[in-house]
Amino acid sequence: MAYRALGDEISQNTLPLTSDNVYSEIQKDLLLSIHISSLMASDTFVWDWIIDGEKDPERIITYLGQMREKYNMVTSFLVSDKTQHYYHPDGVLKTVSPDDPHDIWYYRARGLNNPFEINIDIDTADQSRLTIFINHQVFGYEDEFLGVTGVGLELSKVRHVLDTYQEKYNSRVFFVNNSGVVILYADNFDLPTDLSMWKDFREHAGNILGNPEASFRYDLDGHVFFSVPAISRNSTFSW
């Protein structure tokens, strides 16, 4: 009875509290980046430059470069909804298209109910680098949609933060996408990055993907593991 009571206490109280704390700290650590993207999205210089026909691209390119350097971000960007041009400190990188799988993020971001999202994706400027992006909608003087702007963080910095969380809460912390693939984890993560490949875990993987708010117990090789999600289906995180 004591053993079962302890298990119930862990799964119903301790882990949910830990997951809420982890989620709150992730938001806190990303708050500066969210604030920067919000400043860019509400900057009348950006509005005026787009509304005036995106003349002299060097002006917005210089602006993005200054934002990147000032706040020590790995990247900064602006996509205009009128021309579909992707502006970056290195220039006009491309024209986004709904037919390009790499540009799905833009068409998702433009339809958000929230003004911004936190997205883990490949950096358009460096296809070999995964980056955490803050994508923020841009609306003009009359609430007309102008595009999406934002900044990016190095994934390695966030992994270091996850290391800190694991030590602080004595729990393993990682992010899983909707396909069951672990896409963000601490440096000492030593499990397969596909949940379906974990030993005797296929049923639990299905429960996680089907019900993101479910908690469960996992028995493996004589060890008992308890798990509870930290981020609900209503989160602004996506990948």
How confident is the model at residue 236, as a pLDDT? 43
Convert the pLDDT of each residue in 143-157 to its tens digit: 999 999 999 987 777
Q: Which band of pLDDT confidence, cut at 50, 70 and 90, is reported for residue 206? A: confident
Helix pair angle (44-51, 57-70), 10° resolution: 160
Pairing of strands 182-185, 216-220: unpaired
Convert the pLDDT of each residue in 84-107 to its tens digit: 999 999 999 999 999 999 899 999
Q: Which two tokens stand for residue 59?
A: 């002006």
How confident is the model at residue 190, as a pLDDT? 82
Q: Is the model's pLDDT at 131 over the cut of 90?
A: no
How confident is the model at residue 132, as a pLDDT? 83
How confident is the model at residue 184, as a pLDDT? 77
Q: What's the chain's average pLDDT?
A: 81
Q: Which band of pLDDT confidence, cut at 50, 70 and 90, is reported for residue 203? A: confident
Burial 86-115 (b: 16+ CB within 10 A, else e): bbbbeeeebebeeeeeebebbeebeeeeeb
Entry pTM: 0.69
How confident is the model at residue 182, as a pLDDT? 82
User: What domains are there in the chain, each with its CATH number?
Assistant: 30-156 (3.30.450.20)
Convert the pLDDT of each residue in 160-190 to its tens digit: 777 887 787 777 778 777 788 887 788 778 8
Indicate the DSSP class of residue 13. Answer: I
Convert the pLDDT of each residue in 13-34 to its tens digit: 666 666 666 666 666 667 888 8
Mean per-residue pLDDT, 44-64: 97
Q: Is the model's pLDDT at 41 over the cut of 90?
A: yes
Element (H, E) at 34: helix 15-41
- Residues 147 and 189: their CA atoms lie apart, in Å, by 37
Query: Residue 199: which residues within 8 A CB-CB, separation 6 or more?
Result: 220, 221
Mean per-residue pLDDT, 37-46: 97
- Coil, helix or strand at residue 60: helix
- Residues 35 and 109: their CA atoms lie apart, in Å, by 17
For a pLDDT cut of 90, what percent of the chain falls above it? Answer: 39
| Tally of helices (H runs) and strands (E runs) in the chain | 7, 11
